Structure 1
Amino acid sequence: MFTVERAVLAQVSDRAPCKTKTRRPLSPAALAEAERLRAQAVTRGSTAERVVINLDTYAAVADRLRTAPTPEEEPGK
């Protein structure tokens, strides 16, 4: 285990960390693309708005699972 630890620590440098990325304002092209994507989302609607969940199906399955079937009720017997 110590061999692995030494190998890992040998790869680590004691140099100063890299300078942080220079923050620049968004370019006009980036702003235009962001606006295009926002307009697309408004036109189509989000995925969450399009999903429909039928709780009647869930309730029917839950009702069947509330009790275990008796040996007479089990299918195939």
Structure 2
Amino acid sequence: MKATEIERKRFDKSLDEIIDLFNNIETDEPVIQFSDKVLVNIERAKRKYGDEMVNDKINTVVHEMLSWLDLDDVDESENK
């Protein structure tokens, strides 16, 4: 690919910005650390019943389980 000196400089600057963005990406930590066995079964269930149904079922179970806990006094502004 041929480029003028101006195009080359623009490309270099853009590439530097992309590299900088990539280097500053925060790691996405899962909210829940499922065991390998559970992850395998989730994937199997999704293949059989579909993503939406399995996601809905898991959310329903977790929502119910969390309703058993007293969370009213938790300050959501605190650091994790």
TM-score interval (norm. to shorter): 0.3 to 0.5
Determine which structure has the larger helix proportion and give its number.
Answer: 2
Q: TM-score, normalised by structure 1?
A: 0.33
Query: Which structure ranks higher in relative contact order (CA pairs < 8 Å, sequence separation ≥ 6)?
Result: 2
Larger Rg: 1
Q: TM-score, normalised by structure 2?
A: 0.32
